[in-house]
Structure 1
């Protein structure tokens, strides 16, 4: 019988404990934090109107807001899922981004020179690659979604709290499953290592 592999066992045990700790952290800490955050966002649409924030602040998502977008104004397009494309203006005086409305026409042009605009606060499209977004802690740029579309565009979709992801329970369960799988695989490997080889006793 081979000697018991002490060092590999310690390494695997530490890895399993680490995965279990991550699962507990996701469920006992991150999940309640996210639920409290979502509860705050759910109350935001009923709160008083605020000036559009010049610095990113996710606590203000879905709050009613307004700003004065002065010319010259540049307009770009971004994907809008089933709605086609959304047209987003950038205000010259403040750099604020305003979602003017949506269209299914990829070549749609609008004649909008700015002015007072109201709506609610959301996130601007994120141009970072998906992998970079996972590891970057930089705040996402804020976006004013206009409550009245510019002529020729369809109305913007109303804010939906349900679109804000809350995956911490799933993450926690995944870490527990990873720990269980790692422990089972290592236990099977140990069993095979310790089992006598057929014919070795002949």
Structure 2
């Protein structure tokens, strides 16, 4: 009896930890499949811009648009690995069919912030996006200096009087200065393998401690 309860407790804990590790591996397979679907969608052939893009149905949809600059752009402060500080240039474009849209043209250096954009028209291929970069801790934009700290699509649409979606450029013709910084899956977290290793590691430690405890109890009863 002195061995049975610790044995049951130890095996139960071990089974639970292994089950959590297996669940994380299943989540890893699901996430890898989801990322593959997103990457395939991003890289698909572009289509004309839909009449009313929706954030759920049309996220990452590849589109091709043309338009003329329709006002001063918004500058979003960013830090890019291997690039340093810079600004994303969010420009309003007027399309030939009378729409006013927002395009993330790419990144410029901080020294190029006040340089005017060349006249259009621009031909853009990119992906529809609604980046989730705004939380309760993000400061409001500095409107006087035109420095934003997040791509707040609804707020940017109001400021630029544009439709409430963003096209993130993959290619831009002509090359006008900003370096396109297209959407990708690199920013989507996928930590399930690390979590699985942790759970399996804890299971191994738990099993080792259980065996050690059983050995100690057995020694005391001999």
Question: Aligning the two structures, in what range does the TM-score lie when normalised by the shorter sequence?
Answer: 0.5 to 0.7
C-alpha distance in structure 1 between counterparts of 2:202 and 2:48, whole Å: 45
Displacement after TM superposition at 1:120 (Å): 2.3
C-alpha distance in structure 2 between counterparts of 1:36 and 1:96, whole Å: 32
1:126 aligns with 2:133: yes
* Greater displacement, 109-118 / 179-188: 109-118
C-alpha distance in structure 1 between counterparts of 2:101 and 2:123, whole Å: 11
C-alpha distance in structure 1 between counterparts of 2:167 and 2:115, whole Å: 17
Which residue in 1 is equivalent to 2:146? none
SS for the counterpart of 1:126 is: coil
Which residue in 1 is equivalent to 2:161? none
The two structures, once aligned, show a CA RMSD in angstroms of 4.6
Which residue in 2 is equivalent to 1:99? 104
* TM-score, scaled to structure 1: 0.60
C-alpha distance in structure 2 between counterparts of 1:177 and 1:95, whole Å: 54
Does structure 2 retain, via aligned residues, the 8 Å contact 1:54–1:96? no
* Greater displacement, 188-197 / 40-49: 188-197
Which residue in 1 is equivalent to 2:81? 81
Q: Which runs of 5+ in 2 are unaligned?
A: 93-98, 137-151, 154-164
Which residue in 2 is equivalent to 1:24? 22
C-alpha distance in structure 1 between counterparts of 2:166 and 2:10, whole Å: 46
Q: 1:110 to 1:98 in 2, by over 3 A?
A: farther
* TM-score, scaled to structure 2: 0.56
C-alpha distance in structure 2 between counterparts of 1:65 and 1:183, whole Å: 57
C-alpha distance in structure 2 between counterparts of 1:73 and 1:88, whole Å: 6
Does structure 2 retain, via aligned residues, the 8 Å contact 1:26–1:171? yes
Which residue in 1 is equivalent to 2:47? 49
